[in-house]
Structure 1
């Protein structure tokens, strides 16, 4: 299956052209066909938002040998195959990769791989962004440094399966530019979702701190600060960074306090407030306004899920609210 179809940046049978683009995108300096019977048929798609860069690449019915040197690129690359198999040597370890087994590549360190009938979906993850996001999730006052992940990923585990599904979900959503283009509410939500899932579900050097129960709960003023910020900025992107900054505590502490006060997480509270605004917009809608218009305005990309949650919160479907107004 091909992802990011509306974001194609290369379709070529020219190995030199393919190598040049992969050098820019993924710090790969050598790509060669193994044997004489195959010809590369490269199709590469790329979509970027915030500080994340999604890539889907396929190379046809061919076996390739790939080399990547050391680099100064302080990023990780989460790789999930959509077809084929491969054998990778990275950080002194050998890994077989397949639909069920992925890779967390440290872009600073060399890698060699042999790939057969290969296509993959991946995302560049800047280390400073992961470190900052990790710091926001925990209560430790020390900076998060030297964040490291296990190189091999098992997508058959519940956590691994959820990460792969999240990658596919975001890539599919990016293929609908009418829903996601310039909608920072949706795009920042994708970013927070992906970074949180990666940190919480994939084994890493901060896993123990991330999964420890906070020792202290937030005092009410922290909840009020975050709540007031949400109320004042519901129409703009609200990230986990924003809530942590305005609350003055870690996200895990804030989450525990919100669950105690409102029975939901801070981000669920954000969605609830936006749902209220969507409800008000439907009640005040002019002729020609659609449910889809209102849902996308408030960052709800999946209309079926929007209708279900709207029904749960207000007892009617959004289409019924719109019909009552008109």
Structure 2
């Protein structure tokens, strides 16, 4: 299965042909050139085919996209990667991945992520061609915290092969294919200092996390929700008159917008901004029900962030069964 087509317009027949890093049949040179961008490792040819190593690489700021083949069946033993996570997806052939925790196979539409602290050893099949995403450890951790609500200090770990033929996996591969296709027409989609490049990198990190996080991480995020709710609702109550955005609430709760929205839907059946609106309506009712002689509906509404008075009145009537001015008049008469 070749989920990403091999580029027909580059001489090596590999994607990212416009960004070659090296091509060699010498084992020591291949080991040394790969070590420059990854880490020291042991490399051995274990099959009968001659080594024909080729490596194309597109660098960004926090990640790089790589296409690598050794031609021959090869054993690679890098040990712990330490500084980075490494997503691997065979475009051709397959690979066996071994760690102290166990082993798994990738290929035929499945890929996996190597954790920085895993003691890794791999065997790549003959003519295996791997599409790889090398990601700075801190950058992926930060994305997992910001976008998925991974608690600070919690470990981010991946646990084996995952199919990428459908759903979020297919979308993630589609984004990688887009970036690679842009290089074929001469673009530099991950150019350092480029706003588009930074956005593409962030989207790639989110796509990887969506396609690779397993049930354990999902469960951890669910257990995290009650604390998120307490922090978010407390912040909202203390800032009813402030011009809050959903990002402000997520930041105050120490989580991501996505996790915040999921927690509120699970608890209230609606998003956090709807809950904030109802909190503001409740505060408006309290102020109009206990007015000072100078209290006016307009000042109460605008002080709570309702600048469209017609919409404020509509929401107020739906919630309390009367217009805000009726609440104020009744309170002033009593």
* Fold equivalence (TM over 0.5): yes
Q: 1:183 to 1:27 in 2, by over 3 A?
A: closer
Return 5+ residue gaps in structure 1 as ranges.
Answer: 228-242, 263-326
The answer on 1:251 being equivalent to 2:256 is yes
Residue correspondence of structure 1 range 259-298 to structure 2 within 5 A = none
Alignment correspondent of 2:160:
151
Q: Which whole-Å deviations, capped at 9, do the CAs of 1:110-149 have from their partners, x for residues lacking one?
A: 2222212111111112232222222213557x51421111
C-alpha distance in 1 between matches for 2:93 and 2:259: 43
C-alpha distance in 2 between matches for 1:87 and 1:148: 19
C-alpha distance in 1 between matches for 2:179 and 2:28: 31
How far off its partner does 1:221 sit? 7.8
How far off its partner does 1:201 sit? 3.1
Alignment correspondent of 2:50:
39
Alignment correspondent of 1:198:
208
Residue correspondence of structure 1 range 127-142 to structure 2 within 5 A = 127-138=137-148, 142=151
C-alpha distance in 1 between matches for 2:120 and 2:107: 17
Q: 1:69 to 1:254 in 2, by over 3 A?
A: closer
- Aligned-residue Cα RMSD (Å) equals 3.5
How far off its partner does 1:68 sit? 1.8
Residue correspondence of structure 1 range 1-326 to structure 2 within 5 A = 1=6, 2-27=14-39, 29-36=41-48, 38-60=49-71, 62-71=72-81, 73-116=82-125, 117-138=127-148, 142-178=151-187, 180=189, 181=191, 184-204=194-214, 205-210=216-221, 215=229, 219=236, 224=243, 248=252, 250-252=255-257, 256=261
Q: Secondary structure at the match of 2:124?
A: strand
Return 5+ residue gaps in structure 2 as ranges.
Answer: 1-5, 7-13, 265-270, 275-334
C-alpha distance in 2 between matches for 1:23 and 1:139: 34
C-alpha distance in 1 between matches for 2:167 and 2:153: 26
Q: Secondary structure at the match of 2:128?
A: strand
How far off its partner does 1:64 sit? 1.5
The farther-off stretch of 7-16 and 246-255 is: 246-255
Which structure: larger Rg? 2
Alignment correspondent of 1:299:
none
Q: Secondary structure at the match of 1:5?
A: coil
CA contact (8 A) 1:52 1:125 kept: yes
How far off its partner does 1:207 sit? 2.4
C-alpha distance in 1 between matches for 2:88 and 2:149: 30
Q: Which whole-Å deviations, capped at 9, do the CAs of 1:269-303 have from their partners, x for residues lacking one?
A: xxxxxxxxxxxxxxxxxxxxxxxxxxxxxxxxxxx
CA contact (8 A) 2:158 2:212 kept: yes
